[in-house]
Chain A
């Protein structure tokens, strides 16, 4: 029944060692989002894809990249993780890009940077 799947649920990496987080969806939605959520804070949008069109938030660090090879999958690449990148990373989808669209969230991947 899972509609937005994130693997792994927990990821440990070393300072400066590249890491990739994965998200897949069975909803066939056009839009996929990546959010960063630090402890006791609101989710912060990093970027999103509308189909293959990529939209980067202005304040998203260059250290964060994303790939969407097909409709179902989207990846978050952190090229050189720092201690400040430790957070929960949430993937979400919407069918379209309208303001009223319901976002469907995955359970998140908690990233720990040692």
Chain B
């Protein structure tokens, strides 16, 4: 069955430190992959997405993600975290069933220490 896993439930980093959030997927075909961010009490906002081509994808707010087919991974990275990056991060995969839909991973909560 198709699934998205985010192994880290919660991560804490110091402001200015680098960040990597992990995402693994299980899907037979080449997936459409997304990272969304959700600030407290808010809806989700797209950070970046990957369909094909260059496996390193640049997004908004200084984020990037790398697709690694051999590892079924799509990890999100940022070289220097800001306090405003504290939020919930969701990895998602686009699936083609009877219609197109997106399945979200369980999320990783990021805390930033000043």
Contact = CB atoms under 8 A, between A and B. Distances in A.
B30 to A, nearest CB: 10
Interface of A: 4, 40-45, 48, 50, 55, 90, 92, 97-103, 105-108, 110
B43 A90 contact: yes
Interface of B: 32, 36, 41-46, 49, 51, 90, 94-96, 98-107, 109
B interface majority secondary structure = strand
Nearest to A9: B41
Given A99-B32, A99-B96, A100-B51, A43 B45 contact: no
B42 A108 contact: yes
Contact of A92 (B32, B43, B98, B106): B43
B32 A40 contact: no
Contact of B44 (A97, A103, A110): A103
Contact of B43 (A42, A102, A108): A108
Nearest to B88: A40
Given A45-B101, A92-B43, A106-B43, A100 B90 contact: no
Given A103-B44, A107-B43, 11 more contacts: A45-B101, A55-B98, A92-B43, A92-B44, A99-B94, A100-B51, A103-B46, A103-B102, A105-B44, A107-B41, A107-B42
